[in-house]
Chain A
Amino acid sequence: MTASQASVVLGPGVAEIAGAPPLVYRDVALLDRPDRRFNLVVEAGTVVAAVGDEGSGIGTLGALALGLLAPASGSVEVFGIPIARLPYYDLLVFRRRLGYAPQGDGLLQNLTLKDNVALPVRFATDHRLREVDARVAQLIDEFRLRTIAMLRPAQASEEDRRRAALARAAALNPKLVVLELPFVGLTSRAATDLLENVSRCDDGSRRAVLLTSRDLTPSVRDLVTRAVRVVDGVAVEDTK
């Protein structure tokens, strides 16, 4: 079956393959070693953790999933589409189907936490102002940002910034969320709380989540469907 036969057109030049897993890494060389190929499938509704040290290759997984980086070899498919092959503007539209929290937080420093959360709803949808406000208020409540919503990122604590970044990642209610080292510096309780929130869709169903991490605490591990250890650019099933 060709892509054009099985695809659902979402917008100009943007399609998805019906029934395809949300995210697939196929023979991707994460490091400059062509003999080390990374393979991983993130199925719908699952939380997959890629755990690895500095230099293991996990640092590029998020950028590859978003099409911010093109794989040197192999392919990365998001909802069945080789994302790196999309033209720039189609790629921008396509990315609105994903949530992404980069390493650190990626918040815009000149905006309040509330405005950061509102950003994708304001600019990546055709919602009316009232609908935007309602959605933002819902996210602010869900991620417990109400008391600090008007602070700028530099005025907020690391945990609050991370909350805002994850709320922004979930703003468009995506079916797939990619989180880069989301729990560094957070307590185990805060990490599980955030993961619970971000892995739940608006309708209560579970969304697919790929998170990268240096390590997993037992409480976070309990929420993860599948964990793989990335060693020298290769995924090894984590049986711990």
Chain B
Amino acid sequence: MLRVLINQIRFTALQAIGLVAFLAAILAFLVISQSIRQLGRFGAVDNLGTIMVVAVIRELGPLLTALIVVSRSGTAIAAEMATNRVMGEVTALEAMGIDPYIYLVLPRMLGAIVSVATLMILFDAVALVSGYVAAATSGMALSRYTAIVLKTLSAKDVWLTLVKGVFFGASVAVFCSYHGLAVKAGPTEIPQAVTRGVVATIVAIFILSAVFVVVAA
């Protein structure tokens, strides 16, 4: 089980680092470049911190990270679970007295939670750096950028990111596992199960995001 957990973290987190960092850098660069340009016209560049923290770190970062994980690992989890079901491996586990939810789903859920939370922190860190690069290209000094961002950034944003990581990660594993294990007809149903799992997870993540906005407010 520990091996499955380690493999899950390796595949979900380690192998996704490059993609998450790249998208975080691009997103933050675009948002901050455009914001500086638009805010500058109204002399409201000091609101850059609000855009960085509220839009990128609090909302888009977790959402985009979760979507990356769904598209990479959620599909893999759903396909793997469906294959396990079709090949009779789930029945074999039950016949041995091993709870398939503990053996198959739990390590993937823990792995997804750890991975999503970690990737969200990475996303935020890269976004902050990339945001500075964008600000610097518009002539903003590091000290000013730091002051503007830190004025808005709070400890609440950090724990909110971690809590979102837990919920989003669990959603990826639970919904994709559920739809994978629900396969009955045979191998032809596996792609459908993957699609159902991914769609359900995306919907759940967006709903959870909305819930977090309400609860955190």
Please give the residue numbers on chain A whose beta carbons come within 8 Å of chain B beta carbons, in ascending order.
66, 68, 89, 92-96, 98, 100, 102, 104, 106-109, 119-120, 123-124, 168
Contacts and interface: CB of A to CB of B under 8 A. Distances in A.
B92 interface: yes
Contacts, number: 55
A92 B89 contact: no
Interface stretch (B38-46, B95-103, B181-189, B204-212): B95-103
B92 A95 contact: no
A123 B92 contact: no
Nearest to B7: A110
A95 B94 CA distance: 8
Contacts of A104: 88
B87 interface: yes
A100 B99 CA distance: 16
A66 B89 contact: no
B89 A94 contact: no
A124 B95 contact: no
Contacts of A89: 99
B94 A124 contact: no
Contacts of A168: 96
Interface in B70-97: 83-84, 87-89, 91-97
10 contacts: A92-B98, A93-B97, A94-B97, A96-B96, A96-B97, A100-B92, A102-B95, A120-B97, A123-B1, A123-B96
Interface residues of B, number: 16
Nearest to A115: B3
A92 B99 contact: yes
Contact of A95 (B84, B96, B103): B96
B97 A124 contact: yes
Given A106-B88, A106-B89, A109-B89, A100 B98 contact: no
**Which 3 pairs, one residue from A and one from B, show the smallest C-beta to C-beta distance?**
A106-B92, A96-B97, A95-B97
A139 B1 CA distance: 21
A95 B95 CA distance: 6
B105 to A, nearest CB: 14
Contacts of B84: 108
A104 B95 CA distance: 14
B98 A119 contact: yes
A123 B89 CA distance: 15
B65 to A, nearest CB: 27
B97 A106 contact: no
Contacts of A95: 94-97
A9 B97 CA distance: 17
Contacts of A123: 1, 96, 98, 103
Nearest to B84: A108
A108 B92 contact: yes
B97 A102 contact: no
Nearest to B102: A123
A121 to B, nearest CB: 10
B95 A68 contact: yes
A69 to B, nearest CB: 10
Contacts of B98: 92, 119-120, 123-124
Contact of B95 (A93, A100, A107, A108): A100
A153 B216 CA distance: 50
Contacts of B99: 89, 92
Given A92-B99, A106-B91, A120-B97, 5 more contacts: A68-B91, A89-B99, A92-B98, A94-B97, A102-B88
Contacts of B96: 95-96, 100, 119-120, 123-124, 168
B1, B84, B93 pick with most chain A CB within 10 angstroms: B93
Contacts of B1: 123
Contacts of A66: 94-95
A89, A93, A102, A106 pick with most chain B CB within 10 angstroms: A106
A102 B94 contact: no
Contacts of A93: 97
Contact of A68 (B83, B89, B94, B103): B94
Given A92-B99, A123-B103, A107 B92 contact: yes
Contact of B89 (A100, A108, A124): A108
Nearest to A63: B91
A52 B94 CA distance: 26
